[in-house]
Amino acid sequence: MKAPKPTLIVGGAGFIGTNLADSLLSDGGKVIIFDNLSRPGVERNLDWLRAKHGANLDFVIGDVRDRASLRPVVRNAGQVFHFAAQVAVTTSLVDPIEDFERNALGTLNLLEEIRRLDQPPPLAFTSTNKVYGALDDIALVERETRYEPAAASVLRSGVSESRNLDFHSPYGCSKGTADQYVLDYARSFGLKTFVFRMSCIYGPHQFGTEDQGWVAHFLLQVLRDFPITLYGDGRQVRDVLFVEDLVGAFRLAMSNVDRITGRAFNMGGGPKNAISLLELLRHIDKMHGSLPRIQFDEWRVGDQRYYVSDTSAFQRATGWSPKVSVTKGIRELYQWLRSSETQEAKAKAKLPAAVAL
């Protein structure tokens, strides 16, 4: 009997890919990570995976814009998770062409390499809630620390997949294009594919920035005593999902891929795990004991004042539900980042002093 083919994680040295790889490897699987290592911090993730899992992890450096480099890794894969992307709205506004090439063309390259095989592996793709646009038509009530939908049904359940697509910003357009290609390749070519339209994911191995990964970014700024900038008024709300719950959703989805192929699911923590920026700062202040300077700036293009995922479609399809609460998840990430910052500081302290010439 042949051994199962390894799992290919495209963009696998990133935060989500690292957590998924660790889960699969810990259960005795083999994983191929394909990544161009362009995002800060990913080398640390890769080193950690290698130290923990050794030969069961194979790393291939490459870029999804180079279709030829995808061919050998796709050919050897039993299942594929596609996480490689340009991830920031702000960056897409600066260079829309590069954003398109990474997100839309890169995804099409991967789909074509899968399609050319006699036995194509199933594909999971991470899309974004930005495919629904700014959601300006959702009437909101302004509370002290957050916005809430005026409609009780939206407040109770969140935004569902039945909502019309409305790509906003070059990033929304490129990810939305990829989203639709992934779904159509199931319909037109019979590939086994599914899409998660992601809300805010957070957890260990996330080195968040101002443009992406805001929960981790806020925590890092606090730990470093750097100022935090809120764009808008800080009342904007997102549902946050701890990465451990996301990994469980991915694995459950792959085990049910025959039943869910060709479908897109909103993926996040849902209404029970909704939090505003101001509320996150209150959590952090209580946990850390203080906050750095908070400053405000103008709203950014395409920023949704309220987005919470209705995950009921995926729950009905698979039985999945998130288990990690906001309070527990934030504390776990805080502790992981604090430990990581301490380790990095110790490593820098051991470096030899520069020699003046």
State which H helix or E strand residue 181 sits in.
helix 169-189
Q: Which of 171, 181, 306, 334 is catalytic?
A: 171
Q: Which structure tokens are listed for 248?
A: 């469980």
Cα–Cα distance measured from residue 73 to residue 59, given in angstroms and rounded to the nearest whole number: 10
* CA dist., res. 268 & res. 273, Å (int): 8
Cross-strand pairs, 297: 231
Written as one letter, the residue type at 156 is: R
Q: How many CB atoms lie within 10 A of CB 91?
A: 17
Measure the CA–CA gap between 13 and 159, rounded to whole angstroms: 30
The answer to whether 291 touches 227, Cβ cutoff 8 Å, is no
Q: Are strands 31-35 and 7-10 parallel, antiparallel or unpaired?
A: parallel
Q: What token pair was written down for 144?
A: 């002290």
Gap between the Cα atoms of 23 and 18, Å rounded: 9
Please state, in angstroms and as integers, the Cα–Cα distance from residue 343 to each residue in 44, 102, 314, following that order. 11, 33, 39
Q: How far lies 151's CA from each of 109, 240, 254, 308, 342, in Å? A: 41, 21, 34, 13, 46
Q: In angstroms, rounded to a whole number, what is the distance separating the alpha carbons of residues 81 and 33?
A: 10
Cβ burial of 27 (10 Å; 0-12, 13-18, 19+) is exposed
In contact, 282 and 54? CB cutoff 8 Å: no
Catalytic-residue membership of 202: no
Q: What are the angstrom distances between the C-alpha of 106 and each of 121, 239, 287?
A: 17, 28, 41
Catalytic machinery residues: 171
